[in-house]
Structure 1
Amino acid sequence: MDSNTLFFGPWSATLRGEELVDIRHHGSPVLRGLRAVVRNHNWLTLTPTVLSARTSESPGFLELVLDLGWGGLGARYAGEVTFRFEPDGLAVAFRGTAMEDFSSNRIGLVVLHRPDDAGTAVTVTAPDGGTTVSVFPERISPHQPFRDIAAMSWEREGMSYRLDFEGDVFETEDQRNWTDASFKTYSTPLSKPFPVRYRAGDEVRQSIRLSARHSVRVLDEVTGQVPELGATILAEISSSPSAASCTVPASSAAERAAPLKQPLDARIVADSADDAVGLVRQLPLDRVRRLGVYGAGTHVTEKELWVAVAEEAAKLGFQGELMAGARSHFTELNRNPGSALPEAAGITYSITPQMHAVETEAVLETLPMQRLTAEEALRIGNGRPLHVGPITLAPRFNAVSTEPPTAAELTPGGAPEPSPFAAAWLLGSIAALSIPGVASLNYGDLAEVEPARQLLQQLAVLHSCDVLKATRSTEIAVYPVRTGDGTRCFVANLTPRAAVVRLSGSGDSPGAGRDLELSAWQTATVQLP
């Protein structure tokens, strides 16, 4: 039988004769099929024929209309089936007409569910709005597992799916009884009398809509706390012209720090112990909470530099923490684990997602790897507090250059342009790095752009609050924070297209929860009880 595959937005399906089969969402299988059937008074199925097919498409939909005829067994029936794909759903509408007097046990739409849905929880909504939580049976059910259906919802592979039925009351049977590889949801319920006598010209109208939402469930399980969150104001301070493009001269460090009322995390880049000591003397140490020093050429903490800074800071009455590690990528820390000096109170390294690639997809793919680097850094530091930053979208400097940077390379590129993407990536990064042992995160100049700045401010005041576990989604970042009045969920759409997210708590049934409509890269905040 001829077939062809249809694609629209996240949806795909194959038209096989008059039936739409292998319905998928973002490539993941959802349903076995959707079709209209006509069965006579003896439960024998009339043979369908596609008389004509026409399609229309726009940026907002793809529509396929089939003119059908059913025949055989001494009967004739006619109808029209319309399949309409939209970004957030797939609808099928049926209009059937009796061409002559006809007795039938079933006329209308059927849904074929996948056999591997067995064991999956499902919420059934009745015509009166009441809901029942059940499950697709694992053992072959002799009787209808679901009855009195106006809608049904279930979750599969990180998505929440819902079917809404109109035109009749539906129910589900386990077709594995007849060795069919499916569960079938159909109308009319077998509890109603049959056959039904149709007169010539009588019509049957039904419709079914399949909708999809990203499903993220917040669990009552603490996975960490909100780290201290900050942004780079001074960057590193350095007396070396070859240290990096984002360093500031030592002479201006104290002046730029003066208006700030927050404690500082200072990181010194030096060529020698004498240079490092000179820089320490220029710092407002009474307001410095953490202090680190790194070699201008190695980008890691060198023992000689660290000892010189520690001794001078002690003489000057420094009461904060001395850190060690790398000022650049995790690479340098990983290759020089000895730079995580055992005397240091905390360990450092920085992150940029654009060392090797600048494409959006590649930048997003770095998010789960950030967590992996943090876990490895905690291992290298034997569990000492980890301070990650600056974390910047664009590289701050070239840690592997073979010659001093040119004048162009020494010129800062400026703050990122205002961008929803920056905020979405920021939330994904914070969610990835909020694990036990990560004490602080510094997000470079992202705090200078909207809406990332506002998001960072909202999260910073939640320092030390518990972060709850959420089911993973590659396209949606969810950061649930337990507060005194419930759970505040920060959500980001990590895609360049609109997305609908169903956010639910651990006690919600399948299909229940809050629905959020997010535009491309949008971030939002939702309060759960």
Structure 2
Amino acid sequence: MDSGMETGGIAVSGSGGDPTDLVAIFGTMEPPVPWRAMQVGALSFLLSEQSIRSIKWHGVELVRAISWPVRDENWATYPCVTLNDATARSDGRITGRIEQEVSGGRLGLVVEFSANDAGLLTVSVTMTPVGGPFATNRAGLTVLHPILGLSGGSVRVTHPGGAEEITRFPEQIMPSQPMKEITGLAYAIGAAHVDVSFEGEVFEMEDQRNWSDASYKTYCVPLKEPFTYEIGAPVTQRVRLSLRGDAPVVRRAERAPALGVEPLGQVAPAIGLALEEGWEGDAAARDLIAGCGASHLLLRLRASVAPAFLDEAGLLAGRLGAGIDVELLLEDAEPFAAIDTLAAKLAAAGIAPERVLALNEAYLKSYQPSATWPEGPQPHELVAAARRVFREALIGGGMLTNFTEFNRCRPDPAVCDYVFHGNSATVHASDDLSVMETLEALPQVFSSAEALSGGLAYRLGLVSIGMRTNPYGSSVSENTVQLRETMARADPRHRGLFGAAWAVGVLASTAGSRVEALCLGAPTGPFGLAYMRQRFLQPGFDRGEGVVVPLYHVVRLAREMAGHPRVALSGLPEGVAAYGATVNGATRIMVANLTRSPQSLALPRAAEVTILDGASASAAMKDPNWLDTAPRKQQSDLRLEGYAVAMLEMEG
């Protein structure tokens, strides 16, 4: 790969950082994607070996990304090996060529792009099978369109043969494709316009907000075509962008960003811990978790659950001062009998769940709205069955996976007491930018879910970077080498400062929503807050030492805020998220830097501040009481390094 120094005057972000810093921040020694900033005239973008990102005209992002992923039979993305990568620059023009291979060289890719100062950007990919046909669920160019500024906005669609129609990007999240048979799109954000043309395949669009991706996605091949399919001969696809429009008027800020704090008019949501067999940990791990607390334990149970696990769960709930909610995951053969079996086991363990959601295991998979759905009792029928057995509990409706499945199999508000779903941030992309961008989409996810809830209580299950189960393939990746992978159960960033900052962003995204509860982790396991004898610890920890991840302290503080009056936080610079509540007369706030670059922020008044960052991560991981023992400084402003979290308390 070339050095990327030819950037038209824009600074380049390198991977940077020594291995210790990488592990503290990201939980892995794999460096971040080394984006190269490119500019020619008013056209700018970021370039990597995997995609062209943040395509802007006069600083306005009109296209979020153009990429060329190759998906396997489980919809996971094949890792690419780059054989050659070169860019060149001449007057008013940048060109590039990237040669890659996937699956041990069984498919070769040649990506070529050209950009000029007239606002034209062309990207093509040629895919050539080697040694026989190549099987894939999807391969080729994908174009992502941003959601801010486009949701509900007008778009002109060109179809094969040249027919055009004027329609809109959906405002509420659509469960199926909002646009099909696409050869061209034209739309605007403010004074900036873009025309997009597609060649080499017929494209269609899906609403990626379903999966908390902050984009609408135009892709090929259409879902009406069968998959898995084979590439048997070279295939070339091409996307052309034409960007135009006047530069927006930008007013310079007279002073640095200052945090504004006002009552929000809602209480902070309950913070639970997700729990299933194998995630409870040993006695030492449970001792660590007890200091965190939880509003509730969310147990996922099958009929085969061991009584000993239920006993341990009951004891842990007692130590945490937490109630117990349950997700009943039922085998397809005898779901009604399984509800009775689980009710008897819970009663024998002395557990009276406060909330119950029952779902057939087949509904852990995703189905298009027009697809053939599983046989057997439908979810609304299981609501009625659960209500007959768990007469004192609230009975939920919804899905145990993403909003996608909730949106495609919508609960009936007339028969349940609350609605429910979970979320994973790495369904389609796993780079750091894409994961943080999910925070942009979450408020629109919540709005769409609330529109379907009939005014019922709205609760979230596990909201995580990694994927608990794979609705789109046979399994999740176990990610044993701990890289940034799509559809991987254990994502290493969960254990780093990145995961703590992302979780603050999740909490902040619930502002103004009716989300009343969510889980950000589990006691141990792939989503654990406590780790024992973990292979992938930060250097300096002895194997076998008990530690908590940085996220532990975010969860603990959020749990202490739960149920208290929440505050609205304004004046934040781009890339900073904040979450807070008034607790016993004091305002407690978490401020997270969601970027790799330092961020500064003025406070409305002096506050006691503790900062979780690279300098303090080691001490914070070794001490579950770090929030109590860490030094506090009286400060009237903040400077946060990349992915740092400030915990602050101020009077009033």
Q: TM-score, normalised by structure 2?
A: 0.43
1:435 maps to 512
1:296 match:
361
Query: Which position in structure 2 is the counterpart of 1:373?
Result: 445
Per-residue deviation at 1:355? 0.8
For the pair shown, the structure with the greater C-alpha radius of gyration is: 1
State the one-letter code of the partner of 2:398: G
Residue number in structure 1 paired with 2:432: 360
Q: Distance in 1 between matches of 2:510 and 2:520?
A: 12
Task: State yes or no: 1:526 paired with 2:648.
Answer: yes
Measure how far apart 1:474 and its partner are.
Answer: 3.3
Secondary structure of 1:397's aligned partner:
coil
1:329 matched to 2:392: no
SS of the equivalent of 1:327 reads coil
1-side partners of 2:478 and 2:599: how far apart? Answer: 44
Give the structure 2 partner of residue 421 of structure 1.
Answer: 498
Q: In 1, are the aligned partners of 2:275 and 2:300 still within 8 Å (CA)?
A: no
In structure 2, the CA distance between the partners of 1:290 and 1:232, relative to structure 1 (3 Å rule), is same
* Post-superposition offset of 1:466: 2.0
Q: 1:387 deviation in Å? A: 0.8
The amino acid that maps onto 1:334 is: N
Distance change in 2, residues 1:295/1:362 (3 Å)? same
Query: How much has 1:477 moved relative to structure 2?
Result: 0.6
User: What is the Cα deviation at residue 6 of structure 1?
Assistant: 5.2
Distance in 1, Cα, partners of 2:638 & 2:264: 24
Distance (whole Å) between structure 2 residues aligned to residue 463 and residue 9 of structure 1: 41
Tell me if structure 2 keeps the 8 A contact 1:427–1:479.
yes
Which residue of the partner structure matches residue 452 of structure 1? 551
Report deviation, 1:330: 0.6
Q: Please, which of 276, 294, 301 is the counterpart of residue 339 of structure 2?
A: 276
Distance 1:9-1:487 versus aligned 2 partners, 3 A rule: farther
2:632 alignment partner in structure 1: none
Q: Which residue of 2 aligns with 1:305?
A: 382
Structure 2 residue 578 is matched with structure 1 residue 478: yes
2:268 aligned with 1:226, yes or no? yes
Contact 1:217 1:470 in 2 (8 A): yes
Contact 2:561–2:582 under 8 Å retained in 1: no
The CA deviation string for residues 85-141 of structure 1, in whole angstroms up to 9 with x for no partner, is: xxxxxxxxxxxxxxxxxxxxxxxxxxxxxxxxxxxxxxxxxxxxxxxxxxxxxxxxx
What displacement does 1:429 show? 0.1
Over the matched positions of the two proteins, sequence identity in percent amounts to: 18
- The question of whether the paired residues in 1 share the 8 Å contact of 2:467 and 2:476 is answered with no
* Whole-Å separation in 2 of the counterparts to 1:357 and 1:276: 37
Residue of structure 1 equivalent to 2:421: 349
What SS does structure 1 have at the residue aligned with 2:448? helix
User: Structure 1 residues 288 and 358 mapped into 2: Cα distance closer, same or farther (>3 Å)?
Assistant: same
Distance 1:446 1:158 in 2: 45
Contact 1:226 1:467 (C-alpha < 8 Å) held by counterparts: yes
What is the alpha-carbon root mean square deviation over aligned residues? 3.6
Amino acid at match of 2:443: R
Spell out, residue by residue over 1:233-282, the C-alpha distance to the aligned partner (whole angstroms, 9 max, x if none): 2252124xxxxxxxx84555413313211211210111222123212221
The answer to whether the 8 A contact 2:383-2:415 is kept is no
Contact 2:270/2:518 (8 A) holds in 1: yes
Distance, in Å, in 2 between the alignment partners of 1:521 and 1:422 is: 9
8 Å contact 1:253–1:282 — kept in the other structure? no
List gaps (5 residues or longer) in structure 2. Answer: 1-6, 14-36, 38-57, 61-248, 277-298, 366-377, 481-486, 522-526, 531-547, 606-634
- Partner residue of 2:602? 502
Match of 1:266 in 2: 326
**Are 2:315 and 1:256 equivalent residues in the alignment?**
no
Partner of residue 320, structure 1: 393
Distance 2:450 2:414 in 1: 13
How far apart are residue 230 of structure 1 and its match? 1.3
What are the Cα deviations for residues 188-238 of structure 1, in whole angstroms up to 9, with x where unaligned? xxxxxxxxxxxxxxxxxxxxxxxxx5x243242415321001121225212
> Taking structure 1 as reference, are residues 353 and 408 closer, same or farther at Cα in structure 2, changes over 3 Å only?
closer
- The letter for the 2-side match of 1:344 is C
Q: In 1, distance between residues paired with 2:638 and 2:467?
A: 33
- Shift of the alpha carbon at 1:484? 3.4
Aligned pairs, number: 314
SS in 1 for 2:354: strand
State the alpha-carbon separation in 2 of the partners of residues 468 and 286 from structure 1.
Answer: 35
Whole-Å separation in 1 of the counterparts to 2:250 and 2:343 = 54
Q: Cα distance 1:404–1:216, how it changes in 2: closer, same or farther (>3 A)? A: same
Q: Is the 8 A contact 2:477 2:489 kept in 1?
A: no
1:322 to 1:157, Cα distance in 2 relative to 1, 3 A:
farther
Q: Which amino acid aligns with 2:326?
A: A
**Paired position in structure 2 for 1:52:** none
Give the superposition deviation at 1:341.
Answer: 4.3
How far did residue 412 of structure 1 move? 6.2
Q: Is the 8 A contact 2:478 2:490 kept in 1?
A: no
